[in-house]
Amino acid sequence: MPWNIAQAKQRFSEVVKKAAEEPQLIYNRNQPVAAVIDAGEFARFQEWRKAQLKPRTLADDFAELRALAAGDPDPLPDPDRRGSGRPNALLEMLEEEEPTDVSN
């Protein structure tokens, strides 16, 4: 239920009780100015915010990727390129080269 500031002041204990069920928004001139939320929800928010402020390292990113890959036995399978009909420029170049005589 949205509350205006005057209502929230007069019925503060009711606002707090209802906050245990869902966040209670407080408005001033039809603009939200505050929210009363459950203490557990606020603790989860603080943990999230703290994690957002911590700079991530490349090691953190790799750890996250390893954790994601642990759920799938082959998260990035190698494509089967044999018989795909695609030309391989390196193999063609090697086939065209003549063997050189190194026994001079």
Query: What are the tens digits of pLDDT across the range 23-60?
Result: 999 999 999 999 999 999 999 999 999 888 888 899 98
The pLDDT confidence band at residue 3, using thresholds 50, 70 and 90, is very high
- The residue ranges of every structural domain in the chain are 3-70
Fold of 3-70: YefM-like fold (3.40.1620)
Q: How far apart are CA 29 and CA 21, in angstroms?
A: 25
pTM of the model: 0.50
For residue 76, give every residue at least 6 positions away whose Cβ sits within 8 Å of its Cβ, in sequence order, or none: 69
